[in-house]
Amino acid sequence: MSNKKATTLRVIVEIIFLALFLFLLRNKDLQRWFLIFGIGLLGAIFLGRVYCGWICPMETLFRPINWLYSKLKIKRLKTPAVFKNNIFRWTVLVLFVMLMVAVKAFRIRMNLLLYITAFSVLVTLVFEEEFWHRYICPFGTLLSIFSRNPLFGMRVEKTSCVSCGICQRVCPVSAIEKEDDGMKIDTSECLVCLKCKEKCPKTSITYSRSK
C-alpha cells in the first residue's frame, strides 16, 4: 500500500474511533471503551501497537497539537532524565490499577478514562510525545509487553537503508535506533503511526510480517 493510501486509511480509522469515543462519552458509557482496548491489547500480539497509532483517542488528539506546534515552531520540553526508567513506568501502571480498583470498590462516580485523556493532552502541550507514550500512559506500558515480537510490525529493509536517520528524528517515541548495518525499530515501543514510513527517502520501511 502506498504512503498516501495508508495515511488516508489511518486518518479515516482515527476519525471513526474518535467519533465512537465521543459518542460513548456523551452517553456516559466510556467504560465500554475498555473492551476496545482489550481487543487492541490482544491484537498487539499479532499486529503490534496498532491501537496506539490508529485507534487511541489520545494519539488522535495529539496530531492536531503536533501540527499546530510545528506551524508555530513551538518547541516542547524533552522527557526529564529522572523519569526515563522502568521503575517510574511500572509505578504509574500499579497506581493506575489501584485507582481503578478503588473506583470500582467504593463505587466512586468518576469517568477515569476521560480524566486520563484530558491529562494526556495537558502533558503533551508541554512535553514531547515520548514522555506520555513511553513513561506515563498505563495502556502503553501494557501494550509494550504484548507487542515485543508481533507477527506484523514496522520493519527496516537493511539492504536499502542508508542510515540517514530521518526515521529516527521523526519517531515520536524514540523507538528507532541506529545499528552498524542500518536502522532498527523497537516494536514494543513503536506506535505504528507510519511517520517513519512516510518520511523514509528510500522507502526502506514497511509494515510487514516478521521473518
**pLDDT tens profile 164-186:** 999 999 999 999 999 888 899 99
Residue found by looking up cell 525499530 in the block: 185
Sign for the CA dihedral angle at 21, 11, 123, 134 comes to positive
Give the pLDDT of residue 106: 86
**pLDDT tens profile 18-32:** 999 999 998 888 889
Closest-CA residue to 99 (of 88, 90, 108, 87)? 108
CA–CA distance, 178 with 164 (Å, rounded to integer):
9
